[in-house]
Amino acid sequence: MLRLAKYLKPYLLLILIAVALLFVQAFADLALPDYMSNIVDYGIQQGGVENAVPVAIRQSEMNRLFLFMSADDKTAVLADYTLVDQNSPDYAADLKLYPQLSKEPIYVLKSVDKTEITKLNPIMGKALLVVSGIEQAVADPAKAQAI
Asked if residue 146 has pLDDT above 60, the reply is: no
- Residue 106 burial (CB count, 10 A): 24
- So what's the pLDDT on residue 46? 65
Nearest to 65 by CA among 57, 44, 46: 57
Average pLDDT for residues 4-8, to the nearest whole number?
A: 85
Largest CA distance in the chain: 89
Burial of 108-130, coded b for 16+ CB within 10 Å and e otherwise, reads bbeeeeeebbebbeebbeebbee
| Least reliable range by pLDDT among 30-34, 43-47, 62-66 | 43-47
pTM comes to: 0.61
If phi > 0 it is left, if psi is from -120 to 50 it is alpha, else beta; for residue 88 that is beta
Average pLDDT for residues 86-98, to the nearest whole number?
A: 86
Q: Where are the alpha helices (DSSP H) in 1-147?
A: 2-8, 12-38, 59-66, 71-80, 91-97, 114-139, 141-146
